[in-house]
A and B are shown apart, each in its own frame.
Chain A
Amino acid sequence: MARIPSAAPADRFPASGRRSRFPYLLTAILAASVVYSLRAAQVDPRRFFEGDVLANVARFVRGALPPELSREFLGLMLRPALETVQISVMGTAIAVLIGIPLGLLATSSLTWRGVLHERASRAGRWGLGFVPYALARAALSVFRSIPEYVWAFMFVRAVGLGPFPGVLAIGVAYGGMLGKVYSEILESMNPRPLETLHAAGASRLGVVLYGLVPQALPNVVAYTLYRWECAIRASAILGFVGAGGLGQQIELSMRMFQFNEVLTLLAVLFVLVAAVDFASARIRARLA
């Protein structure tokens, strides 16, 4: 029988892989939390077969067809639809205004660590670098961990109904996300050019402008555009808590059981989202 000589001294009885207990433990914990969650979330498929569920579905479908397409209704909805776009644009703009400064502060290589700071005094690094860095990180974390709807709800309280609280909500929540991602992009940049500029005597601002911005810009722009795509979805929904746009109309129609209007509004939303996705994807493709 032909054979290739063994490449390594043969271990005749191969162990069947590493046998760590970790996978079992992890699986057990996950399974337990799923079982517990099923109860906590009151999941009960039997509810689908209770008396009026089918009737409700039928009522919903019958109510939704045909969609409301009267000229009058469409005319009325034009304004909220445009408002949704406007909220997303303004919200993203404010998110950028929040994200850039906080993102820069939250970049360790700019504030306290790495090639730019090797000569700074210890006290200087901590006082002028680390403290603002930690504060910026904390602020970003709070901004993005509270969902935009909750922000919107609070801003409605603070500045009243209308699109403005929606803009602020998107601005703050997405500012938190943008700031975090901006800082991640900046951290991942090649430090060599920064070092060179620094050695040539450039100021901190000079280093950022000439060393970082050109490297990071395509990624920063692409991610910002991606967030804009998300913002248009969010802005359409913020209306549910009184922050303008299509969401307010959807909620109104839903509450009044005007399902045909809901269907039309969803179609409008679909078109808006698709248009923004398309525009953003085109620009991102050009950047890539």
Chain B
Amino acid sequence: MARLPAARPSRAWALWVGAGFAALLLWSWQGTGVDLASLFGREGLRQIAVYVRKLFPPDLSAAALSAAGAGAVETFAISLIGSLLAVAIALPMSLLATRTLLYRGILFEGRRLHPGARAVRLGFYAAGKAALNVLRTIPEIVWALIFVFVVGLGPFPGVLALGVHTGGVLGKLFGEVLEDVDPAPLEALQATGASRVRILIYGVLPQALPQFVSYALYRWEVNIRAAAVLGFVGAGGLGQRIYVAISLFHEQELMTLILAIYAIVTLVDALSAYLRSRLV
């Protein structure tokens, strides 16, 4: 996050950026056909009002509530298992994305790496980074489509989609944490004759763990929202029911489901904040 600027950027630079953004905004405005006037005009507001009125009151029949409850539980389960899978993928992958464990930095100053070994390690790093980039770039909903195609409908492809995409995100973040740990204790451990694996266990991971937990919890918050959507493409959870409700114009049932999403998202946010305060 940015701090106060140390030296003020020059005026000309700020002007160029400002002009660039203004042009970008105008171009986007024209391209997206945003028509705020008509949206907030008499007709637009009337339409919105009509739609909102249809949403109320939410459908609180036993059937609707149990459907929303089951969907909420399933969504929670997808987000939780998906996030755990992501951590399981990210932990080993992040080691490949950490230069200071592979070929440079304090652990590699005692002896020159054989050029061949160094090239191999550079290759590992490049491959690890590239793999994480691929996992991360493909959005979770596209992963969900792919896994639905591969293993069939249901919440399981949703879990896989969240796990794989988030694994890419966390792998990158974990790698950055590992590279950032204080090197002084590592130097001391190295001086006792410890191997790099043992230095990793005793010096690097204990320092990195709180950040790992914090990032994983943060992604869980993101994943509960994503899990609520994967159902749109057939990967289980509340999304599937929302898709049906919207498609069949069951607006009151839709409202119930939206309340369920709101409840479960709020619950996970609170849980995550609580765990963070206890564990980090």
Let me know if A41 and B236 touch, CB within 8 A: yes
> Within the assembled complex, what's the spacing in Å between the Cα atoms of A163 and B265?
27
A85 in complex: contacting residue of B28, B232, B243, B262, CB < 8 Å: B28
Let me know if B34 and A41 touch, CB within 8 A: no
Let me know if A163 and B151 touch, CB within 8 A: no
Q: Is the interface of B mostly helix, strand, loop or mixed?
A: helix
Let me know if A42 and B13 touch, CB within 8 A: no
- Per-position binary interface string of chain A over residues 141-182, scored 1 when its CB falls under 8 Å from any chain B CB and 0 otherwise: 110011101100110011100111011100000000000000
* B34 partner residues in chain A, CB cutoff 8 A: 90, 94, 164, 167
> Within the assembled complex, what's the spacing in Å between the Cα atoms of A286 and B11?
12
- Per-position binary interface string of chain B over residues 1-32, scored 1 when its CB falls under 8 Å from any chain A CB and 0 otherwise: 11111000100010001000000110111011
- Per-position binary interface string of chain A over residues 50-81, scored 1 when its CB falls under 8 Å from any chain B CB and 0 otherwise: 00010011001000000000000000000000
In the complex, what's the smallest C-beta–C-beta distance from A149 to chain B, in angstroms?
Answer: 4
Q: Which residues in window 10-40 of A have CB below 8 A to B?
A: 26, 33-34, 36-40
B1 in complex: contacting residue of A37, A222, A254, CB < 8 Å: A222
- The stretch of B114-122, B136-144, B171-179, B186-194 that contacts the partner chain: B136-144
Kindly state whether residue A93 has any CB partner on chain B within 8 Å. yes
* B266 partner residues in chain A, CB cutoff 8 A: 141, 145
Kindly state whether residue B229 has any CB partner on chain A within 8 Å. yes
- The stretch of B56-64, B76-84, B99-107, B196-204 that contacts the partner chain: B76-84
In the complex, what's the smallest C-beta–C-beta distance from B169 to chain A, in angstroms?
Answer: 11
- The stretch of A105-113, A121-129, A265-273 that contacts the partner chain: A265-273
* B258 partner residues in chain A, CB cutoff 8 A: 146, 150
> Within the assembled complex, what's the spacing in Å between the Cα atoms of A243 and B273?
33
- Per-position binary interface string of chain A over residues 268-288, scored 1 when its CB falls under 8 Å from any chain B CB and 0 otherwise: 011001000000000110111
Residue of A nearest to B225 (CB): A147
Q: A40-B74, A164-B32, A250-B142 given as contacts; is B2 within 8 A of A145 (CB)?
A: no
Q: A240-B141, A266-B142 given as contacts; is B151 within 8 A of A149 (CB)?
A: no
In the complex, what's the smallest C-beta–C-beta distance from B161 to chain A, in angstroms?
Answer: 12
In the complex, what's the smallest C-beta–C-beta distance from B50 to chain A, in angstroms?
Answer: 9
> Within the assembled complex, what's the spacing in Å between the Cα atoms of A287 and B5?
6
Number of interface residues of B (CB under 8 A): 67
Residue of B nearest to A141 (CB): B266
Kindly state whether residue B95 has any CB partner on chain A within 8 Å. no
Q: A38-B81, A43-B159, A145-B261 given as contacts; is B232 within 8 A of A240 (CB)?
A: yes
Let me know if B225 and A153 touch, CB within 8 A: no
Q: Which residues in window 226-281 of A have CB below 8 A to B?
A: 233, 236-237, 240-241, 244, 247, 250-251, 254, 262, 266, 269-270, 273
* A141 partner residues in chain B, CB cutoff 8 A: 266
Let me know if A57 and B81 touch, CB within 8 A: no
Let me know if A153 and B242 touch, CB within 8 A: yes
Let me know if B35 and A164 touch, CB within 8 A: yes
Kindly state whether residue A130 has any CB partner on chain B within 8 Å. no
A37 in complex: contacting residue of B4, B80, B236, CB < 8 Å: B80
Kindly state whether residue A47 has any CB partner on chain B within 8 Å. yes
Kindly state whether residue B126 has any CB partner on chain A within 8 Å. no
Let me know if B48 and A158 touch, CB within 8 A: yes
Please give 12 more A-B residue pairs, beta carbons under 8 A apart, in addition to A40-B74, A223-B1: A34-B80, A37-B81, A60-B150, A93-B28, A154-B246, A157-B51, A164-B34, A237-B142, A250-B142, A254-B149, A273-B137, A288-B3
Can you show 15 pairs from A to B with CB atoms below 8 A apart? A43-B81, A86-B32, A94-B34, A146-B262, A147-B225, A147-B261, A147-B265, A159-B39, A159-B44, A218-B5, A240-B233, A254-B142, A254-B145, A266-B138, A284-B2
